[in-house]
Chain A
Amino acid sequence: MKNFSFVNVENKADALEVLHREKEKSCLVAGATNVMPFIRYEKINDKTLINIRNLQELRFIREEEDKIEIGPLTTIYDLENSEIIEKYAPALREAAQDFADPTTRNSATIGGNIANASPAADTATPLLALNAVVVAESKSGVRKIPIQEFFLGVNKTALQCDELITVIEVPKNAANSNSCFIKLGLRNAMAISVVSVAAGVELAEGKVAHANVALGSVAPTPVRAKTVEAALVGKEFTPGLVEETAKLVTEDISPIDDVRASGEYRKTVAAVLVKRALKKSGKI
């Protein structure tokens, strides 16, 4: 079975109209780097392919007073080369630098990456640590989905079938400006992560005021390391503290054995990566 149809949309209003009309048959296509392999392997069939690749109005990175706004059509190449991202969300920039290969980065978009909701999605882990907010729009209105509530499972999100991601918001704060990202893959390029970690800490007089830690590829969705975060806040930020708290990450994750690594290995290496990311973010 194949049975696809194709609609090109020229602006956001058109896109919302077509989504409203096609409902469950809708399949938005941005960079197509996930959609094309899905078509090839018949993981999707009988869809209306809605081309949003040319929606330049949704390709932007803007600085507002208390947040930055990223358009869903922003490519991974754009993220890698943005001064705003470098300043306010360095974890996202580092994730972009390690993402796929330079050619794929020209097509792949941030909206497609999170909407596809792979447990290994490389922008998802940083966005989770950065407390991002996903703005979703449909003909019936606009809603803001905190990123913690966005990922529901492998390839499952909180988006309704007629909703379009129109903005991804990242708050401006010290923890986010200090954030960093570490990806462990089986090789240095073109690798799906075995484990990824994003962390951002804010210190006040040597003590941890805020600690945000997220991991990818260790559960069906990217997850926050809540146990680690709770154990850090209010304490003196020392190498000893980081060493001890990083180990607690095994409480927060449920990694599986797969072709890339065993669950046991992922647990061991997750603790090491959390330690490194916290040290890097807190500059010790």
Chain B
Amino acid sequence: MDQPHLIIDHVSMAFDTPKGSFQALDDVHLKINKGEFISLIGHSGCGKSTVLNIVAGLLQASTGGVVLNGKEVREPGPERAVVFQNHSLFPWLTTYQNVELGVKQVFRGRKSRAEMREWIEHNLAMVHMEHAMDKRPDEISGGMKQRVGIARALAMQPEVLLMDEPFGALDALTRAHLQDSLMEIHAQLGNTVIMITHDVDEAVLLSDRIVMMTNGPSATIGEVLNVDIERPRDRIALSDDPAYNGYRHDVLEFLYEKQRKVEDLGDRRRAAASTPPSTPSPARVA
């Protein structure tokens, strides 16, 4: 391949705020191959969602840009489907209708009614939600909603699947389940995936590369870790695997040693006002 599939090309982002310009991202640069699974990891507020939204086209970078298949991204589109953190299903539509809305947009004129129906059902079946097609979002559980959100994105046959903490709000068991489904689907379809996560295990288990971001303001890419583990990956087998644990260690080290989360200014001032300077509180990924 002569040109990379997706380039995040020297992206910087400054937000206009009432207090002046806020430099959120500074020179984020990354080339991604077709079919790669990338995780973005970093401390809360460093700018992961901003990166994702720029790739999605929901935000425009202040400088730099995103190039997909040699074309600059200027606006959102179904070829870069987004799975939002809080599912963002339309509560007035059933599971089926939520998926249908995207399918109609993408396949209008290309698929017949019956083909569309089949395709929607196929995608719902892929996330094991075919039994709840006629339920409204408020009638299904959080994990189920997230799965429908994934089905909605997949049904658009996106070249790039963008996921903002897709499993953030779920319990560990449901999360493991969905991670397995996601690996299966990725193996089957080979979409390019960019996923934001706070979960180190999730990042190592799913990714081809883990992109670790430095703390904001002016956040950028700190390190990129290649995860060379054979697919298909099995979470139980991997838990004893020294390579797997090595990768985990690398990510943890980056987050807790090299990019220790400094308390924000407000905290520090408040602390300074009440108590004499003390040792920094333990960092955590939030």
> A and B from one assembly?
no
